[in-house]
DNA sequence: GAATAAAACTAACGCTGGAAGTTTTATTTC
DNA sequence: GAAATAAAACTTCCAGCGTTAGTTTTATTC
């Protein structure tokens, strides 16, 4: 069956289906044939729309980053912005953990990833951070977020009390971690993000000047969490 | 040629060779046949020593973690310990970035990874951190270290000025990042680690009590870097 | 309307991890 | 020490992988 009268595929449809498969089964189980099957076509048909499998993965990764909200850099001080952006960034990645090893390689030529980098770097420099420091901060945030989204810390511990009993005296409760996955993982990320911002604030005061005031709004999510 | 009189393979030899191949060519290019070829045998021979390819990768990952030095938890305060361990952890992973996506999944049943978790958690609890907080801190450190070792932040930016010119006004110098890979990546990690520890210290003082004094030794690497 | 391009298919290639079967040697059992 | 058993190497084979080349039909361009 050669070219159909109505297009069966589009880049968008391919990317959406690929994202769904990767979310459901992971990167290792993802194959061009599997994807083609889900789309009701054959493997080689994908090559009419993407040069290779990597290009599909690239597009999936950028679709994930496109979900990240960087608007706080235009509306809040740098501390609230880091908190809001970091949270949104981690939410986006945590919703799609299986693609994280792939997208953590850097923006490359991906439009959404570059737009995010542009907004973050620009916002930090505007806040008074020297350019080199702004770069470092962007990098650290990526480390923290990508690291936290790579896979559950809590679920990395096997639910078998016997495993820990003989040789790991302090890990007697480690088998319970997986059962508290969400609270452990989110609690850890929240702690890390807040501690990092607190530490950066100390450096800002020591090397740049007084901190910009936090939003006075009583119901502001950001001010509540950066109270000192 | 059936069973040789002298053993051609050992688990240790397999793991060392696998680690070398992964370091040289990456995880995607790593195959059981490639590994077998390097060892002078055929692919299926590996299955006499490891159940499957994943088990080989597991052993490689644990060999990397075995390089991490956690002894500072027994000799220094928790701040110096986090700094020293975090640095050693990142050094070990940065020396083997290609296996990082694999080992970041958590300790599982790997002896070295469990021993590391045991030492870190035990050290933090002994320093006064509540158990749940100690878990969070362990998780955050993994986020930061694994995230920073996943691949170079600086090299994630393409060395093409034209890419950034039209749509990313703040990224006019981004094409230069790759040329400063080492200083950017290490500078960022150092900043993140120190800021994180500073922030954690603030929480320790606010919720637990006075900080343990830093080592008085004038030449101590740790005290010099945690000065406030 | 003819020529060109695009999008689907099939067939094929070389590669992958691993199972099954065979052969020889080491180790265990008596 | 001989026989039985186990182990470690090989070969053959399987089903799956990403991708290329060629064919056919339809859309688009001139």
Q: Is A74 on the interface with B (CB under 8 A)?
A: no
Which of B66, B187, B207 is CA-nearest to residue B134? B207
| Contact residues on chain A for B132, CB-CB shorter than 8 A | 187
Chain A residue numbers with beta carbons less than 8 Å from the beta carbon of B131 are 173
Task: Report the C-alpha gap between B73 and B127 in whole angstroms.
Answer: 9
Q: Which residue blocks in B6-126 are alpha helix, DSSP H?
A: 11-25, 32-39, 53-65, 72-75, 78-94, 100-103, 111-126
What 8-state DSSP symbol labels residue A91? H
Nearest nucleotide to the CA of B45, by C1', is D9
* Nearest residue, CB atoms, A198 vs list B135, B156, B202: B202
d(C-alpha A82, C-alpha A78), whole Å: 6
Q: How far is the CA of A83 from the C1' of D16 (A)?
A: 45
Q: What is the mean pLDDT of chain B?
A: 92
* pLDDT, position B228: 45
The pLDDT value given to residue A134:
97
CB contact under 8 A, A188 and B163: no
The backbone torsions φ and ψ at residue A152, rounded to the nearest 5 degrees and listed phi first, read -65, 125
Q: Is the pLDDT of residue B227 over 70?
A: no
pLDDT tens string B156-215 = 999 999 999 989 999 999 999 999 999 999 999 999 999 999 999 999 999 999 998 887
Cα separation, B87 vs B119, whole angstroms: 16
**CA–C1' nearest nucleotide, residue B44:** C18
Confidence band for B2, pLDDT divided at 50, 70 and 90:
confident
**Nearest residue to A90 (alpha-carbon basis) of A179, A185, A16:** A185
Determine whether A220 is exposed, middle or buried from the number of CB atoms within 10 Å of its CB (0-12, 13-18, 19+): middle
Contacts of A125 (CB under 8 A, 6+ apart): A131, A134, B170
Most B CBs within 10 A among A153, A154, A163, A211, hence the mutation to make, goes to A153
A173: helix, coil or strand? Answer: coil
Could you tell me which CATH class the domain B11-50 is placed in?
mainly alpha
Provide the pLDDT confidence category of residue B224 given band limits of 50, 70 and 90: low
- Cβ atoms < 10 Å from Cβ of B228: 8
- Yes or no, beta carbons of A115 and B150 under 8 Å apart: no
Largest CA distance in chain A: 70
Residue B139 predicted with pLDDT over 50: yes
3-state secondary structure of A40: coil
Minimum-distance nucleotide, CA of A51 to C1':
D19
The answer to whether A96 touches B141, Cβ cutoff 8 Å, is: no
Q: Please give the pLDDT value at position B225.
A: 57
Across the interface, of B114, B163, B168, the residue whose CB is closest to A115 is: B168
Q: Is the CB of B148 under 7 A from strand C?
A: no
The pLDDT value given to residue A217:
52
CA–CA separation, A149 and A186 (whole Å) = 10
Nearest to B152 by CA among B98, B222, B197: B98
Which stretch of DSSP H or E encloses residue A134? Answer: helix A131-149
ipTM of the complex: 0.91
**Tokens representing B222?**
């740790």
Predicted pLDDT at B216: 56
Nearest 5°: the CA angle B155, A202, B217 is 90
N-term to C-term CA, chain B: 68
With beta carbons less than 8 A apart as the criterion, state whether A77 and A214 touch: yes
Please list the pLDDT of chain A residue by residue as tens digits (228 residues): 789 999 999 999 999 999 999 999 999 999 999 999 999 999 999 999 999 999 999 999 999 999 999 999 999 999 999 999 999 999 999 999 999 988 887 888 899 999 999 999 999 999 999 999 999 999 999 999 999 998 899 999 999 999 999 899 999 999 999 999 999 999 999 999 999 999 999 999 999 999 988 875 534 555 555 644
**Token pair listed for A75:** 């509306």
Using CA coordinates, name the residue in chain B closest to A168.
Answer: B118
Please report, rounded to whole angstroms, the spatial distance between the CA atom of protein residue B66 and the C1' atom of nucleotide C12.
46
Q: Is A61 on the interface with B (CB under 8 A)?
A: no
Contacts of B77 (CB under 8 A, 6+ apart): B127, B211, B212, B213, B214, B215
Tell me the backbone φ, ψ of residue B108, rounded to 5 degrees: 55, -125
Query: What is the CATH architecture of A68-225?
Result: Orthogonal Bundle (1.10)
* pLDDT score for B218: 36
Tell me whether the CATH fold assigned to B11-50 matches the one assigned to B68-225. no
Q: Does A195 touch chain B (CB under 8 A)?
A: yes
Q: Where are the domains of chain B?
A: 11-50, 68-225
């Amino acid at each position: 069956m050669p070219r159909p009268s109505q297009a069966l595929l589009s880049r968008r449809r391919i990317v959406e289906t690929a994202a769904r498969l990767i979310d459901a089964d992971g990167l290792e189980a993802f194959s061009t044939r599997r994807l083609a099957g889900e789309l009701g076509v054959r493997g080689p048909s994908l090559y009419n729309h993407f040069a290779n499998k990597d290009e599909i993965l690239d597009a999936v990764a950028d679709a994930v980053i496109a979900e990240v909200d960087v608007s706080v850099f235009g509306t809040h001080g740098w501390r609230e912005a880091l908190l809001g952006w970091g949270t949104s960034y981690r939410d986006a990645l945590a919703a799609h953990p299986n693609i994280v090893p792939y997208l953590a390689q850097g923006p490359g030529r991906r439009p959404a990833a570059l737009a995010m980098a542009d907004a973050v770097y620009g916002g930090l420099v505007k806040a008074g951070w020297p350019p080199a420091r702004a770069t470092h901060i962007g990098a650290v945030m990526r480390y923290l977020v990508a690291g936290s989204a790579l896979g559950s810390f809590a679920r990395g511990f096997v639910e078998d009390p016997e495993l820990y009993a003989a040789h790991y005296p302090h890990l007697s409760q480690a088998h319970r971690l997986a059962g508290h996955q969400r609270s452990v993982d989110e609690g850890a990320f929240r702690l890390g993000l807040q501690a990092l911002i607190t530490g950066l604030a100390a450096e800002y005061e020591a090397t740049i000047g007084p901190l910009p005031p936090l939003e006075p709004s009583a119901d502001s999510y950001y001010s509540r969490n950066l109270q000192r």
